[in-house]
Every structure is written in C-alpha cells, then in structure tokens.
Amino acid sequence: MPDANDQLAGPEEAPQPTALFEAAIVASMAVAVLALFLFAKLGSEVLEGDTQHFDQVVRDWVHGYASAGMTRVMHAISLLGYEILLVEVVIAFMVFAKLRWKRAALWLAIAMIGSVLLDLALKYAYHRVRPAAFFGSPARYYSFPSGHALSSLCFYGVMAGLLSARTKSVWLRVVIWVIAAALVVAIGISRIYLGVHYPSDVLAGYLAATVWVGTVIVLDHVRKVRKNSRQIAS
C-alpha cells in the first residue's frame, strides 16, 4: 500500500511561474471579471423584480420532488454549507498547522474571512426579503446572496485547489475536484429545496464567491511577481 506522503507534491512553496501557471492566472482573472459582470446584471434584475418568474418556476419544480426522506437528506446537506462547514474549517487549520502548510492556512483564512464580509455587505446592500420557507423555520437574515452557496464555494473550492496542488496523482486530483463540485452544487440545491433561498440567491452566491477567489488568486500572483522583481533588482 503506498505511503500517504507519496501522494503529496512536495514542500510547502509557491508555484513556479511556468507558462501553464501564467495561463491559469489569466484565466482566473477572466473568470473573475465575467462573474462580476454576471453578478451585477443578476443583482440589477433582482432589484427590478425581473427574476420573480424564474425563481418561482424553479422553486415549484424542485419542491415537486419533496418527500420526508428527501427533506431529511437536504437538511443534512444544508448543514455542510455553514454549521458543519465551521467545524471543517477548524479541522482544516489544525491539519495545516500539523503539516506546517503555512501558505495553505493563509489562503484558507483569506478566502473564508473574505466570504463572510462579502456575504454580510451584499446582504445589507440588497435587502432582499427571504422567501416563505418550505421546511423549517425562516432564516433571520436577508436572502441575496445565499451565504451557504458563497461560503461553500469558497471553502470547498479553495480546499480542492490547495489539496490538488499538493497531490501527485492525477486521478486523485480529479476525485478531489469532483467531490468539491458535488458538495457545492448539492448545498445550493438544498437551500432551494428547503425554500430558504430563491434560486437567484444561490446563483449570486456562486458568482460572488467566484469573483472573490479569482481576485485573490490574481492579487497573490501580482504580489509574487513584484517580490521576484525586487529580488532580481537587488
């Protein structure tokens, strides 16, 4: 049986500035800009009430699959987007500290702190009232964007990136990303199923998270470029 360390890519260090890495940075910037444009457009339509028909059609369609068993499953999945996610964040920091992955811990801290601040700022900026919940008690805070969708994409997406970057096996990288994507999508669906968010809230959460993570990736790259330039000049 292969040792767990054999699956790790090596010491904790910044990626080397290869052509592929530079292309990934450009792609991250492009995705972030596109997500920002789509979020702004979606937010404008929400304020004007243009998403009401879309939201209602999707809510009714998802609610059509409701059952007692499905509701229990969706409640459990929803916890992965906030309550259990908080525990996962703490565990991740403990593991990173044990492995001395300082860079990974910093990345995760920036992603999660930013996601919380962004969620609060956008919620109070848009003041969208929550829909009538299908199951459970209504949430206390505003609806747009979905904090569960935003935080889950930031956490599971960043974790997938950190782990896959430190993994040698291509297949293991694929498994990591598939699991992360499945969790993020399932959490968003659970919020719609439970009726505590409109579908447009969930889409907005995903877009806001994409903007934030993409921006952090680009700024981190700019920081490394400037640091390398200073070292060369000296």
- Is residue 221 situated within a structural domain? yes
Q: What is the pLDDT of residue 188?
A: 95
| 150-197 pLDDT tens trace | 999 999 988 988 888 778 888 998 999 999 999 999 999 999 999 999
Judged by phi (left if over 0) then psi (alpha if -120 to 50, else beta), residue 198 lies in beta
Q: Which domain holds residue 73?
A: 18-233
- Is residue 9 situated within a structural domain? no
Which residue, 125, 117, 148, is CA-closest to 43? 125
Average pLDDT, the chain: 84
User: What does the pLDDT average to over 17-38?
Assistant: 76
- Is residue 7 situated within a structural domain? no
State yes or no: pLDDT of 20 exceeds 60: no
- Residue 225 has phi, psi (to 5 degrees) of -65, -45
- Is residue 111 situated within a structural domain? yes
Place of tokens 């719609």: 192
State yes or no: pLDDT of 61 exceeds 70: yes
Q: What angle do CA 206, 197, 111 make, to 5 degrees?
A: 30
- Is residue 211 situated within a structural domain? yes
Encode 147-181: b = buried (16+ Cβ within 10 Å), e = exposed.
Answer: bbbbbbbbbbbbbbbbbbebbeeeeebeebbeebe
State yes or no: pLDDT of 26 exceeds 80: no
Decide if 168 contacts 6 (C-beta within 8 A).
yes
State yes or no: pLDDT of 5 exceeds 70: no
Q: How many domains does the chain have?
A: 1
